[in-house]
Structure 1
């Protein structure tokens, strides 16, 4: 490194000597050219130098002769006729120039004083600004402001300062459209510095826009302190409540992404109260059922599908209510708040009564969750999910498309179709979320993609790579809550792959169990707690830690409200029942009652509508139940049925589990050859899935069965 630095210093010294040999006129023109860039056009150079094209060409001749710059035309004659130098007519050909050596360009630029650079860059920007029609400026806005902003500290006329502020506002909007958040925050801060001292009086609209954008950019960059500062200024200075709605939404989403769920809900209630909406302090089931029942009243005789044709909402206040209510739905759902159904019902009701808004799809889709989970009407839930997707398409509501896709792909589609059908939709939503900058829902979609991939038996080796990548991306995007959830999936996959010291303890590369649990409790993350304990339950059961898994099942049920309706809910019913049926200490009647409660949910709400996803789970639990009851014929038939069902729909980890439990059943019945056949099949299934920790476990516990011929 020291050697390369010495060589660079030598080169700069040589370049400096070369530069001193040039005429003063040439040195001056080259300085301007260095500020334009490595490549520079003659027209801009001549304008900034305030010279004619011909005189500028001649000023560059010596630099051409010394090999410091070059043109795009090798045939260009550097011995240009001297008579042309004084001619007013344009030369026969105007070349394009570039610096032949990057080191020379860098050294030349470094030699220019900061004061000179400010003035030169500003003049370059002004020349380009004059050349570009007003309607075309936004297409070259970054090029323009990057030059002009260098002169922001110059003593500019007020008209030019205002014009530069307006250009930075355009740059902010283009940065938002291209998800260039750090650049956008820079332009917003520069724009604010250009405004007058009493800007909130004299330049109100621009002040409001800059502060809103700065708050949004700061939140997206993870600078939550700056986000709060800019947001609070808007809340204090904006004239009307409607002009404050956007920063309240930003604050809600930022707090949710940080895992500050209670704060997010409090902020939403504060602004909703100002908009005339108040909810009961402690909503009851009666309040919730009444709110949901009102939807049927306002819907009347219309079909759910017909709501896509409602007129567009015009009432600005109602639009603001729907926007705020929808923005806080993730926080309310994850934290298990009873406000969730009230917020959803309110948004749907206003949409039906006053017309659809861009955010109506974000209300219709969650209403599908309520229909599935609370009203136990999956068909109705699917219809509302499809309505939401159709409305997003009709209104071209790209900004909320990730929100709708997340709900449909994570909560509704798998209630009727194979889980793998959710994966392409979720991938589409992830890409769309990145494109429009909806980072909060980029996080939710990534988490649900990893979750659905795991429970649809995607190969563990590729799933580990995908989950690892999503985790790191979400950390970079400052999506703390969903990054936490993805860490659970990542560590669980690592455990199954055999990359953890103890396969039933979620500690390793992705997370440390004790510290991680403390974090989830601190943020009141019911969704995260349910996910964590459900994966822990699965791992404990798979690796024979039955006693511990029995201890955590009570805790898991209390967190179910934070993850109700996603694919891990039926997985919990499966492993909770299997754990109970493996118990040696609990009362048999209590066990059977617990299992029957789970089976009722699994049958009626899951397997009935999507047998391809869940019937084999029901059958496997029934087989284990009959084993406990000593009804061996029925148990044998149901093990076979569970294995066939899991295999037919390619749920390989549950096919493996069913084979393993069947092997244990036959081993207990002293039918070792049959047990060996099932255990070998279980081993092969776990191996195909990639669960090395599980194949190692089987080798350790059942070596004779696996080695028998």
Structure 2
């Protein structure tokens, strides 16, 4: 994989040996997959499904990195950034592959080596049977290696393929093999043989064949983690003066994707803008934009769209200009870069894509353009109904033109790309996955993660996100798979699922199922996605009262990496989860300091539920700061900030967002308490508790009870104070926040 992709083998280590972990190894895997919502009363017990473990005995693992890795490469690069990918090569059709180098490498179903069998707890060894064993109460830490530098592929004689006689035959054999993620190494070998056969003179004798051997060879090198070979092959293509920018386009596409994988968003943005300039297309300048300029462009785009329905948008003529199609594809790739590196430029790029689609017609990038416009409508312009209409238009385009299948198909002379048109009848009708986004996986992530949460319960998105993760892993779109996995685990946290439950076991089962069916391709994630997962796992440790190891990376360490790579979205999410913890533990003064140091993160979180959560926490913290601020001017400043946050949440609630109703009641209760309106405060506290319970936000039900208890204590009502305090303890206990329960009991 690219330099930010990582794979790992998970090895068991007893608790007594845990002190030897590297800083990124001990990651809590105790998030719960959603169980049926517990309709708890003050005396009821939680109905959430648990994994049967004691709260004091927790297994640690990087759930997103359950994989297979060769033992001889496991220890190579502790303490660095990316683990090299390794592959168990299997036979495909008439492709003959030697496996002598793998005879002594035996794995069980989650990547444990044969001699790493736990004595008790965890997942019992079952390599011979190939069946997932019983998962018992975990009594072992399950660390993962640190991230190391990707290694160059070693095409040794021991893994030699049965080469064909001509470069073209080897190209086709490699492309067919590449349609299976478990065969990427085999595919890369075929193309390497083809390049050797055609030689340097191939650029003169058969330029199209050489171009595909080098471009798709670079793609496969990227897929297998061989970044050195990838860069050499890309440079060979991009440095040639006898190739046009359109001929070099595939190489540029791969290079931008690789930059994304390495979290090099500024570099990817600069590269993509350079390609657009070479294509002679309208160009945006890489710089921050004002809100006024964004609003002006939004008005232009809104007028251009008019009142077109989803069906009308999906019925637009097809794009026929290949140059425009390539420009839209580059713009599509740059959306991630803008969102991460230049957030205020992001909406302008979206508006430009939408207007280009309306003017020139639909190609494969049109769905992404309309769906992303829907994200902006929901998050920035408070129109979730129209946003869902854009999501529907994107889905109709995928279904109508069969774009779900692939961006390219395999013909008699190699790959046929579809920058301008839907799939045609070719030799490989079912589509081709080679270094091509599997559109369906990304579509599910986008609409479930960034659009539907404005109008439907968070828990309703969990199953689609799991499906998106599986689709991405099956076809090799690791980026979409890791994004879906990350969002899934975040949603279990914010929707109030139990902290200690079945998430780890079910997630491991899905990875095992994928490995057993589709072969040996390692499960890998973006560095940024992995860091987000680490952040959530650290939060769960704190809530459950588990100390992190001395050499384990803490929140400050994760934040330092996020700032180093310039990932503003990751930075915002880290501040959010830390702020959430400060509120739950009642560390109000520290929460105020963090709110100040974080600055304005709304621009980076605006389209996500995380952005809503940030505003809710900001309102609660600002009202607390109003109370304990010593200076009148400071108190007034915090009061104004609280009013602004409450006003924003009220606006979202008017749009019938089901995920913030209880939070608005809590904000209104705190505001009424601040103003001394007793009757109104009591009413809103009651509604906050009841609504949180009804909508299954167990953690917010606990928080609302706790804050209500503090309010009743402040007005001298000790009876109701005690009732709400006990209810808070019960809810926190059902949620699994052991440390918080202990804190309340000690007060």
> After TM superposition, is the score higher than 0.5?
yes
How far does residue 654 in structure 1 lie from its aligned partner after superposition? Answer: 0.4
TM alignment of 1:280-679, pairs within 5 A: 280-282=285-287, 283-300=289-306, 302-398=308-404, 399-462=438-501, 465=504, 476-500=523-547, 511-583=553-625, 584-585=628-629, 587-604=634-651, 606-679=652-725
Number of residue pairs the alignment of both structures matches: 552
Q: Write the distance in 1 (CA, Å) between the matches of 2:96 and 2:593.
A: 62
Structure 1 residues 345 and 163, CA gap change in structure 2 (3 angstroms): farther
Equivalence for 1:686: 732
Structure 1 residues 437 and 475, CA gap change in structure 2 (3 angstroms): closer
How far does residue 301 in structure 1 lie from its aligned partner after superposition? Answer: 5.1
Kindly indicate whether the alpha-carbon contact (under 8 Å) linking 1:255 and 1:261 is maintained by their aligned counterparts in 2. yes
Residues 1:244 and 2:290 are matched in the alignment: no
Structure 1 residues 230 and 291, CA gap change in structure 2 (3 angstroms): farther
TM-score after normalising by structure 2: 0.69
Residues 1:173 and 2:175 are matched in the alignment: yes
Structure 1 residues 452 and 209, CA gap change in structure 2 (3 angstroms): same
Q: Write the distance in 2 (CA, Å) between the matches of 1:516 and 1:471.
A: 25
Structure 1 residues 204 and 171, CA gap change in structure 2 (3 angstroms): same
Structure 1 residues 424 and 471, CA gap change in structure 2 (3 angstroms): closer
Kindly indicate whether the alpha-carbon contact (under 8 Å) linking 2:619 and 2:642 is maintained by their aligned counterparts in 1. yes
Worse-superposed segment, 578-587 or 381-390:
578-587
SS at match of 2:501: helix
How far does residue 219 in structure 1 lie from its aligned partner after superposition? Answer: 1.9
Q: Write the distance in 2 (CA, Å) between the matches of 1:189 and 1:593.
A: 64
SS at match of 1:163: coil
Q: Write the distance in 1 (CA, Å) between the matches of 2:511 and 2:655.
A: 32
SS at match of 2:382: coil
Q: Write the distance in 2 (CA, Å) between the matches of 1:518 and 1:632.
A: 44
Gaps of 5+ in 1: 1-137, 155-159, 502-506, 702-709
Q: Write the distance in 1 (CA, Å) between the matches of 2:489 and 2:672.
A: 34
Worse-superposed segment, 178-187 or 353-362:
178-187
SS at match of 2:378: helix
Structure 1 residues 526 and 576, CA gap change in structure 2 (3 angstroms): same
Greater length-normalized contact order (CA 8 Å, ≥ 6 residues apart): 2
Q: Write the distance in 2 (CA, Å) between the matches of 1:360 and 1:406.
A: 17
Equivalence for 1:106: none
Kindly indicate whether the alpha-carbon contact (under 8 Å) linking 2:698 and 2:735 is maintained by their aligned counterparts in 1. yes
Q: Write the distance in 1 (CA, Å) between the matches of 2:579 and 2:378.
A: 25
Residues 1:699 and 2:745 are matched in the alignment: yes
Q: Which has the higher helix share?
A: 1
Structure 1 residues 235 and 445, CA gap change in structure 2 (3 angstroms): same
Equivalence for 1:185: 188
Equivalence for 2:36: none
How far does residue 372 in structure 1 lie from its aligned partner after superposition? Answer: 1.9
SS at match of 1:670: coil
Q: Write the distance in 1 (CA, Å) between the matches of 2:720 and 2:157.
A: 84
Worse-superposed segment, 677-686 or 300-309:
300-309
Equivalence for 2:69: none
Residues 1:216 and 2:219 are matched in the alignment: yes
SS at match of 1:329: helix
SS at match of 1:650: coil
Structure 1 residues 313 and 436, CA gap change in structure 2 (3 angstroms): farther
How far does residue 221 in structure 1 lie from its aligned partner after superposition? Answer: 2.5
Residues 1:273 and 2:277 are matched in the alignment: yes
How far does residue 415 in structure 1 lie from its aligned partner after superposition? Answer: 0.5
Kindly indicate whether the alpha-carbon contact (under 8 Å) linking 2:97 and 2:159 is maintained by their aligned counterparts in 1. no
How far does residue 478 in structure 1 lie from its aligned partner after superposition? Answer: 4.7
Kindly indicate whether the alpha-carbon contact (under 8 Å) linking 1:222 and 1:477 is maintained by their aligned counterparts in 2. no
SS at match of 1:558: coil
Structure 1 residues 392 and 677, CA gap change in structure 2 (3 angstroms): same
Q: Write the distance in 2 (CA, Å) between the matches of 1:153 and 1:596.
A: 66
SS at match of 1:177: coil
SS at match of 1:582: helix
How far does residue 343 in structure 1 lie from its aligned partner after superposition? Answer: 1.8
Kindly indicate whether the alpha-carbon contact (under 8 Å) linking 1:533 and 1:556 is maintained by their aligned counterparts in 2. yes
What's the RMSD between the two structures over aligned residues? Answer: 3.0
Partner deviation per Cα, 1:612-653 (whole Å, 9 max, x = no partner): 210110110111122222222211111001001111111110
How far does residue 556 in structure 1 lie from its aligned partner after superposition? Answer: 3.2
Greater Cα radius of gyration, structure 1 or 2: 1
TM-score after normalising by structure 1: 0.73
